[in-house]
């Protein structure tokens, strides 16, 4: 889809075009001018952290993690940690999430880790996420 986010969500452009001194507002104004394909890791991280366009943010996060399970703006695995913090009822397709988590889990041994502690922390996060999903789906 080549439409900017402001058109997809039918946002009132008059309000959105005002310049702001706040970095978060500046980021938001840049974000709504982007197409879905132009959204980057930084945008996804902020979208999820700020609870903005959650459906789109979750979808893009799953795409990013499929290509790079260690993706993160601040540190390796940060994006997975952000997703873990989101209530599961926000996810449209829990089956996609479950499939992604299983794929990552199957390929953990193929990931090059900076150190053993990073590997342990990531593995614990992944395990907790899978348990959370399992409990939710009952």
In a domain, 31, yes or no: no
pLDDT at 55 (0 to 100): 95
Task: Provide the residue range defining the domain that includes 79.
Answer: 39-137
Q: What is the mean predicted confidence (pLDDT) over 49-59?
A: 96
Mean pLDDT of the chain: 93
> What is the token pair recorded at 95?
């089956």
> What is the token pair recorded at 107?
């390929």
In a domain, 20, yes or no: no
Indicate the number of domains in the chain. 1
Q: What is the mean predicted confidence (pLDDT) over 118-125?
A: 96
Query: Coil, strand or helix: which one is 17?
Result: coil
In a domain, 10, yes or no: no
pLDDT at 21 (0 to 100): 84
Cα 115 from chain centroid (whole Å): 24
Rounded Cα–Cα distance for residues 55 and 59 (Å)? 6
Say if residues 73 and 29 touch (Cβ distance below 8 Å).
Answer: no
Region class of 10: left (phi > 0), else alpha (psi between -120 and 50), else beta: left
In a domain, 98, yes or no: yes
Q: What is the mean predicted confidence (pLDDT) over 22-34?
A: 93
In a domain, 81, yes or no: yes
Within 8 A by CB and 6+ apart from 33, the residues are 4, 5, 6
Q: What is the mean predicted confidence (pLDDT) over 123-129?
A: 98
């Amino acid at each position: 889809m080549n439409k900017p986010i402001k058109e997809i969500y039918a946002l009132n452009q008059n309000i959105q075009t005002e310049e702001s001194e706040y970095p978060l507002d500046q980021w938001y104004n840049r974000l709504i001018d982007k197409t879905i394909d132009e959204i980057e890791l930084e945008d996804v991280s902020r979208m999820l952290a700020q609870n903005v366009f959650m459906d789109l943010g979750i979808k893009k996060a799953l795409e990013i993690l499929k290509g790079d399970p260690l993706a993160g703006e601040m540190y390796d695995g940060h994006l997975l940690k952000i997703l873990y913090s989101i209530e599961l009822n926000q996810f449209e397709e829990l089956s996609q999430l479950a499939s992604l988590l299983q794929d990552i889990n199957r390929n953990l041994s193929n990931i090059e880790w900076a150190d053993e502690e990073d590997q342990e922390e990531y593995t614990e996060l992944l395990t907790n996420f899978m348990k959370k999903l399992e409990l939710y789906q009952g």
